Amino acid sequence: MSEPVTSTRCLFCSLMCPLALARDPSGSTEEMTADYIAADPVTEGRLCFRGHMIPEMATHPLRLTNAELCAPGQTQRKTPVSVHEALEAAASRLMEAGERAAVLVDGNLPTEDIASAMQLARDALKTTRVAVYLPDTDAAMCRGMNPETPFVAAAEIAGSDVVFIIGDAFTTHPVISKALLEARAARKLRIVACDCIPNHVAPFAEKFVLTKPDGAAALLAAVCKQLGCEPGGDWAAGRSAAELAEMAGASEADVKALADAISGAKSPAMILAPVPGRMSNVSAAAAAASSLCIAKGGRLMPLFRYGNAVGAVAAMGTSQPWQDCIQAVRDRKVDTLLTLGVDVLRLVPTKEIASLRRRLQTLIVASPMRDRSAAYADILLPMAATFETGGTVQAADGNCVEIGAAMSPPGGALPVRDLCAGLASAMGRHLSAESQAENAAPCQGQPDAPEEPVAFPETGLQLIARSNVPDFDTGTLSRLMAWPAFAEPMPELHMNASDVKKRGLAPRGRAVLRANGHEAFVRLRVDADVPEGMAAVSTAFEETRPLFRERRVDGVGVELCWSEADVMAETDT
Ligand code: SF4
């Protein structure tokens, strides 16, 4: 039996479920479990799979607990040193690099940690090369939403009479599906939904609209027009509801059914749950969803992948997109990189790791785990996880939430704010007092115009992303955790039986998937939910992300979009 320690919150999505961590009280093992907070009105003591990864992280065999240092060019032979020595060495390399140095910090840290990294770069290092890693859908939702948008919290969503779900919220957020399905059974809550393939919401929706990939923004804009409100941004101004419906791949009857459901509701709510590589044009979709909520008395629940996405957007200001930071290394403008909680070598295709590493004279990695970047680092700094440090984060509505620390960090691991202060001090500089997070609305109301529809491939397959329970599109964490690695050790490509047969592929065989000038080895899965002419693969693998087209979006970075693909048996290649 285990005993609860103290409570914290899970930051693996914007629901920020409360949880307690428990340790084996006998002290005989390092076993940790997530303990349920049964009184919580949202989770009622249940966490989703991602929440259960937190105890695994706490005692993971790959936890980084001490600093290490290696001689230049000798990343395989690291020597344990004190954190102080490692900070001194890192500060010296960063100062030596000057403008050739860059800082990349994870956006799912408490706001004071992100702010410390920004201060370190700008005030101590005097560089503008600082970036915050944030999932593209999170940045795009913040960018598109209207500042007047009313939000609905997880505890209140089941009180709505109609919920319009855009994307696959049931696969990625079982806490929400449980609340909605119970309310649906008890009080006839109505669910309407859309996605580009029949998803896990579809069987429970009284109206499910199948769109083209990336068609959600146009569909929402069409519903806005049908209800007499503008979807936000100029792109839809001259288009009718019928034209927008066609752009979305939906019918006018579909648009009317969704519009009728919203206009007939007393307290409608919308859930925006975009999957990268399946729903781009996210800022336009967020703007249209905001407009609908404002015009029709509804409330919006944007499901961010990062619990502190809103705080990260506020703290990052106008800093460069994280992709530009990596591009500067490719372009040899940066040769010294400090990463704080970002497994940067998981963000690039596997075949690019060696060349990217060669371009870096010094890679300084602060991480809670011995991740891929740690293996290639010159200097390793042990970083505490948020459930060990606590701090301030911002909820989707912009309000600050103080989260507690459930335990102390192991060994010499330090919060990012302390690592940044230590680096600044070793540079003879001083960071100003911790910036206090202030309530700040996430909305910017600056939607980007959606991509115009691209012709459906005549011969190939339309490749979209598959939504999956871990819901980490970079694989930064999920590849290190036991359950997702066992559940999907290699990428699985889901295809309709007729497409598998047409290509002479073995239904459960291995195959090569080619798209966007890249290829990846995949295992085939026959899936009746995937329409003919389409194929779906997870983006949680560094080898599958380059298969998707990238679309540059102002203020966001890039969005992953569907691409044209072909599949062949492994033996044919
Ligand atoms: S629903 Fe979100 S906050 Fe809750 S346990 Fe899952 S990932 Fe964590």
- Same domain for 157 and 189? yes
CB 88 within 8 A of CB 323: no
Residue 433 in domain: no
Using alpha carbons, select from 15, 67, 8 the residue that is nearest to residue 422: 67
Please choose from 12, 301, 393, 478 the residue to mutate so as to test ligand 1's pocket, defined by most ligand atoms within 8 A of CB: 12
* Least confident interval from 40-49, 95-104, 501-510: 40-49
Distances (CA, A) of 148 to 105, 205, 235, 246: 30, 28, 20, 29
- Alpha carbon 547 to its chain centroid, in Å, reads 18
Q: Does residue 53 have its Cβ closer than 6 Å to ligand 1?
A: no
Using the mean position of ligand 1's atoms as its centre, give its distance from the Cα of residue 496 in Å.
31
Q: Where is the domain boundary, 241, 267, 302?
A: 302
Whether the pLDDT of residue 405 is over 50: the answer is yes
Please give the distance, rounded to the nearest whole angstrom, from the Cα atom of residue 202 to the centre of ligand 1: 22
- 25-41: average pLDDT: 60
Residue 475 has what pLDDT? Answer: 58
**What pLDDT, on the 0 to 100 scale, is given for residue 459?**
75
Residues 325 and 470 in one domain: no
395 lines ligand 1 (CB under 6 A): no
CATH of the domain at 172: 3.40.228.10
77 vs 505, residue with greater confidence = 505
Q: Which residue has the higher pLDDT, 455 or 339?
A: 339
Q: Are residues 98 and 200 in the same domain?
A: no
* Dist. CA 306 → ligand 1 center (Å): 10
Give the atom of ligand 1 at the shortest distance from the alpha carbon of 173: 1
What does the pLDDT average to over 504-531?
Answer: 94
C-alpha gyration radius of the chain:
23
Inter-helix orientation angle 111-119/309-316, to 10°: 20
Rounded Cα–Cα distance for residues 169 and 494 (Å) = 19
Which of 17, 138, 170, when mutated, tests ligand 1's pocket best, judged by the most ligand atoms within 8 Å of its CB?
A: 17
**Residue bearing the CA closest to ligand 1, atom 2:** 13
Lowest-confidence segment of 131-140, 141-150, 312-321, 478-487 by average pLDDT: 478-487
Question: Is residue 407 in some structural domain?
Answer: yes
pLDDT at 571 over 80: no
Q: Is 13 in the pocket of ligand 1 (CB under 6 A)?
A: yes
CA of 49 to the centre of ligand 1 (A): 8
Residue 38: is its pLDDT beyond 70? no
pLDDT of residue 540: 85
The answer to the question of residue 99 being in a domain is yes
Is the CB of 15 inside a 6 Å radius of any atom of ligand 1?
yes
What confidence score (pLDDT) does residue 78 get?
85
Instruction: Indicate whether 111 pLDDT > 50.
Output: yes
Q: Are residues 16 and 150 in the same domain?
A: no
Residues 268 and 295 in one domain: yes
Regarding the beta carbon of 16 and ligand 1, being less than 6 Å apart is answered: yes
The verdict on 12 and 144 lying in the same domain is no
Note whether residue 452 is domain-resident.
Answer: no
Distance CA 36, CA 28 (A): 22
C-alpha distance from residue 250 to each of 201, 247, 262, 301 (Å)? 18, 8, 17, 24
Q: What is the mean pLDDT of residues 532-557?
A: 90
pLDDT at 227: 97
Task: Find the farthest-apart pair of alpha carbons in the chain and give their distance in angstroms, rounded.
Answer: 69
Probe target for ligand 1 pocket from 9, 14, 15, with the most ligand atoms within 8 Å of CB: 15
Shared domain check, 334 and 190: no
- Our measurement of the distance from residue 145's CA atom to the centroid of its chain's CA atoms, rounded to an integer in Å, reads 17
Residue 494 in any domain: the answer is yes
Name the more confident of 32 and 421: 421
Q: Is 493 in the pocket of ligand 1 (CB under 6 A)?
A: no
User: 391: Cβ–Cβ under 8 A, 6 or more apart, which residues?
Assistant: 109, 110, 111, 112, 113, 402, 403, 415
Residue 333 has pLDDT above 50, yes or no: yes
State which of 173-182, 420-429, 446-455, 554-563 shows the largest mean pLDDT.
Answer: 420-429
Same domain, yes or no: 184 and 49: no
Label residue 45 by pLDDT band (50, 70, 90).
Answer: low
Residue 447 lies in a domain: no
pLDDT of residue 431: 84
Q: Is 50 in the pocket of ligand 1 (CB under 6 A)?
A: yes
Say what the pLDDT of residue 573 is.
Answer: 53
Per the model's pLDDT, the better-predicted residue between 22 and 55 turns out to be 55
Query: Would residue 128 count as lying in a domain?
Result: yes
The predicted pLDDT at position 252 comes to 97
Q: Is the CB of 192 under 6 A from ligand 1?
A: no
Q: Is 456 exposed, middle or buried (0-12, 13-18, 19+ CB in 10 A)?
A: middle
Residue 563 lies in a domain: yes
| Mean pLDDT across 187-208 | 95
Nearest residue (CA) to ligand 1, atom 7: 12
The CATH code of the domain that includes 10 is 2.20.25
What average pLDDT does this structure show over 499-519?
93
Mean pLDDT of 79-91: 96
- Check if the beta carbon of residue 158 is closer than 8 Å to that of residue 179: yes
Q: Are residues 74 and 172 in the same domain?
A: no
Same domain for 473 and 548, yes or no, is yes
Q: What is the CATH number of the domain that holds 534?
A: 2.40.40.20
Question: Ligand 1: distance of its center to the CA of 80 in Å?
Answer: 35
User: What pLDDT was estimated at residue 2?
Assistant: 47
Cβ of 175 closer than 6 Å to ligand 1, yes or no, is yes
Q: How far does the centroid of ligand 1 lie from the alpha carbon of residue 44, in Å?
A: 12
- Same domain for 147 and 294, yes or no, is yes
Q: What's the pLDDT band for 233 if we cut at 50, 70, 90?
A: confident
Contact indicator for 473, 466 with CB cutoff of 8 Å? no
Atom of ligand 1 nearest to the CA of 50: 7
Q: What percent of the chain has pLDDT over 70?
A: 90
Cα(37) to centroid(ligand 1), Å: 13
- On the question of pLDDT at 408 being above 80, the answer is yes
Neighbouring CB atoms inside 10 A of 519's CB total: 17
| β-pair partners for 558 | 552
Residue 322 Cβ < 6 Å to ligand 1: no
The more confidently predicted of residues 486 and 467 is: 467
Q: Whose CA is nearest to atom 4 of ligand 1?
A: 17
Q: 467 and 274 in contact (C-beta within 8 Å)?
A: no
User: Which of 250, 269, 302 is the last residue before a domain boundary?
Assistant: 302
- pLDDT recorded at residue 3: 47
For the ranges 98-107, 319-328, 519-528, the lowest mean pLDDT is seen at: 319-328
Count CB atoms within 10 A of the CB of residue 411.
13
Mean pLDDT of the chain: 89
Candidate of 10, 14, 157 to mutate for ligand 1, largest count of ligand atoms within 8 Å of Cβ: 10
* pLDDT above 90 coverage of the chain, percent: 65
Ligand 1, atom nearest to 15 Cα: 3
What is the mean predicted confidence (pLDDT) over 433-459? 73
pLDDT of residue 457: 66
Domain with 358, as residue range(s), is 67-134+309-426
Residue 369 has pLDDT above 90, yes or no: yes
pLDDT tens digits, residue range 147-181?
999 999 888 999 999 999 999 999 989 889 988 99
pLDDT tens, residue by residue, 275-308: 989 998 999 999 999 999 999 999 999 999 999 9
Q: What is the mean pLDDT of residues 239-245?
A: 96
Instruction: Grade residue 97 by pLDDT with cuts at 50, 70 and 90.
Output: very high
What confidence category does residue 455 fall into, taking pLDDT thresholds of 50, 70 and 90?
Answer: low
- Cβ–ligand 1 distance for 51 under 6 Å, the answer yes
Pairing mode, if any, of strands 268-273 and 299-302? Answer: parallel
How high is the pLDDT of residue 1? 40
Which pLDDT belongs to residue 73?
62
User: How far is the centre of ligand 1, averaged over its atoms, from the C-alpha of 298 (Å)?
Assistant: 24
What's the pLDDT score for residue 426? 97
What's the number of domains the chain is made of?
A: 4
